[in-house]
Structures are given as C-alpha cells and as structure tokens.
C-alpha cells in the first residue's frame, strides 16, 4: 500500500476540480487531483459550449483542455486513471482517501468535485449520438435546436420544466413518458399542457436513436408499453431527464445532504464534516452549469487555504474568515 500526504486532496477533474486545483496552486498548497477518467468531466460529453464567458462558441473538449492547461500552469498535480473508493475522516482529524489501486492519500482537507451522472436510457444509439443530438442539459444545448422538432423523455419536474424551457428554441417539443400521467407538480403540469408547442406521447418508451449520414440524430424508434406497437418519431434532438445521481457514495459516515442526495454546504462550500468541501454538480444548488462549478471551486479552494491557516494557528475548530473583498 502506497501512502501519500498532501494539504488537500481534490476528487474529480471536471471544471470544478481543475479550477480548485488552479487556485490551490496559486496558493502554493501541496494538492493532488484524483480523476478516474480524463480531465474535463461532463465537458467531454458536450459538443459545443456557448454560455461560458469569454468564449462565444468553443468545443467542450477544447474548453476542458484549456482548464487542464491553466491548472497545470500553476502546478496542479492531476492524476488520471485513479478511482477513489472511499473518503473518510479519521479520529486524528485527517482525511483518508483510498483508491482502487491500493493507494491511500492523507490530508487535513479535501474538496469533492466528483460531479454527478445523468441516468441514461440505455438504448441503442444513445451513446453514439451523445453531443450530436442526444443531450442531458436543456440550458446547455437548447439553443442548438432553433426551429427544430425535438423530444424530451421523462415525467418528473425536471423533464416537464425542461420541455417547457426548450420551447423557447424548438418549433415543436414532444414529451415522451412511459405512463399515462406525470409525476411533476400540478403547477408545472398546468404550464406544460397550456403550451401549444408541446405534445404528449403517453405510455411510450424510446427503443432506439437513429442518425443521418452526417452522424446527427434524425429520428426515434418508439414502443407503446400497453399495446407493444412500434412507431417512428422524426426528431433532430433527444433530451433525457429521467434522473441524475450525485457521485457522493464514496463518503463514509454521515454528511449533510438534501432529499435528492446532493451535498449541503455553507457559504464557504464546507459540508457538515469540518474540512470537507464540495463544489460543482454534486452540491445542492439552483442550477448546475460550468460557471457555477468554477464559482463553487474558487470559493472552496480559497476557503481551504484559510482553513489550513487556522489549523496551523492552533485553532481546534477552524473558523474561515472572509477578506471583505477579492484578490486578483
């Protein structure tokens, strides 16, 4: 078993993790970022980004590379191909981060930026056309479907809310639900049913996503779950909202969370476990965008620096004091 000691361990190298690493590097902290795949997180599943300040239009993979290069410029130590299995706070106050390779990282603080995972349909063509018509984020990708016919899958608040939102761009939105009634709140349903651009397809599921010669979504194969009858729906976009799972299962012991499992933090991004900070998509908040992820991470990394200073000053229960302004 290999043992490593750092001032902060950052779990996940999506936008939040790389931003936290950049600020940790600027603060001259001994930090390490652990990432099971490639740096970039959900950006790697996003074809084009048009809502990140300073970049009117940039490939998701290109923006991810820029995040990575900027973090490395400030000394970020990003380790890829490392899957964290458990994160726990020991009796001596140190966090013990264990990996599937038998490595253990000890640190007085940790920032969890492991993001979340959209629940997928698991049908043929879904992964093939991800970012090419298949999306899990209406705010991110809705503008790419102006005056087009698209479909949304789901029956809860998220699906209904996003279907309504997508009518700002699309000419026609079909909402596909496997049952004959929605789970969404009555207020959201009322708004949905009053929207002339939205048409319901009840008791149906998507069986296959089909593309055209350019490699973009062109239609969906559906099946009625009552009659078994197949049908084809012409649509250039498919938005899936059947659930989102925050990647918080690695944390041992109780940590404050909301009813959906998202971590609850204070204004400094600190969780209910002192010294454990959270940033990005796994944190309870109004919206989940690249901009909010890096904002969370900026606060978390600066808070970590202040937390560590308080520890070094002998405070048994460190209090993070703000500066009253900002530093460039």
Catalytic residues, which ones? 137, 140-141
Nearest to 288 by CA among 88, 76, 46, 71: 46
Q: How far is CA 238 from CA 136, 138, 146, 191, 303, in A?
A: 8, 10, 14, 21, 40
Contact 76, 33 (CB under 8 A): yes
Q: How far is CA 25 from CA 43, 107, 119, 223, in A?
A: 22, 16, 34, 53
CA distance linking residue 9 with residue 264, whole number of Å: 19
DSSP type of residue 180: S
The sign of the dihedral angle between the CA atoms of 59, 50, 285, 150 is: negative
CA distance linking residue 301 with residue 28, whole number of Å: 11
Measure the CA dihedral 206/208/209/214, to 10°.
Answer: -160
The number of residues making up the chain comes to 328
């Amino acid at each position: 078993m290999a043992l490593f000691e750092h001032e902060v361990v950052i779990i996940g190298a999506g936008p939040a993790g790389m931003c936290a690493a950049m600020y940790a590097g600027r603060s001259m902290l001994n930090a390490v970022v652990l990432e099971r795949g490639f740096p970039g997180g959900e950006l790697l599943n996003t074809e084009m980004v048009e809502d990140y300040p300073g970049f009117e239009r940039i490939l998701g993979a290109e923006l991810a590379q820029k995040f990575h290069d900027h973090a490395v410029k400030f000394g970020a130590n990003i380790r890829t191909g490392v899957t964290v299995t458990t994160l726990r706070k020991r009796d001596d106050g140190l966090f013990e981060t264990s990996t599937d390779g038998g490595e253990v990282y000890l640190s007085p603080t940790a920032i969890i930026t492991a993001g979340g995972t959209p629940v997928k349909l698991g049908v043929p063509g879904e992964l093939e056309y991800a970012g090419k018509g298949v999306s899990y984020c209406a705010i991110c990708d809705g503008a790419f479907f102006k005056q087009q016919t698209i479909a949304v899958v789901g029956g809860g608040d998220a699906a209904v809310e996003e279907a309504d939102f997508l009518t700002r761009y699309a000419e026609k939105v079909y909402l596909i639900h496997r049952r004959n009634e929605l789970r969404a709140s009555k207020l959201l349903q009322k708004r949905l049913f009053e929207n002339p651009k939205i048409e319901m397809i009840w008791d149906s599921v998507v069986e296959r996503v089909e593309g055209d010669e350019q490699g973009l979504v062109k239609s969906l194969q559906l099946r009625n779950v009552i009659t078994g009858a197949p049908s084809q729906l012409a649509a250039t976009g498919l938005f899936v909202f059947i659930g989102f799972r925050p990647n918080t299962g690695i944390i041992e012991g109780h940590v404050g969370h909301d009813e959906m499992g998202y971590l609850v933090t204070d204004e400094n991004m600190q969780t209910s476990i002192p010294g454990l900070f959270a940033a990005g998509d796994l944190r309870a908040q109004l919206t989940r965008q690249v901009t909010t992820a890096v904002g969370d991470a900026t606060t978390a990394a600066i808070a970590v620096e202040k937390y560590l200073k308080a520890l070094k000053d002998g405070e048994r229960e460190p209090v993070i004091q703000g500066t009253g302004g900002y530093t460039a």
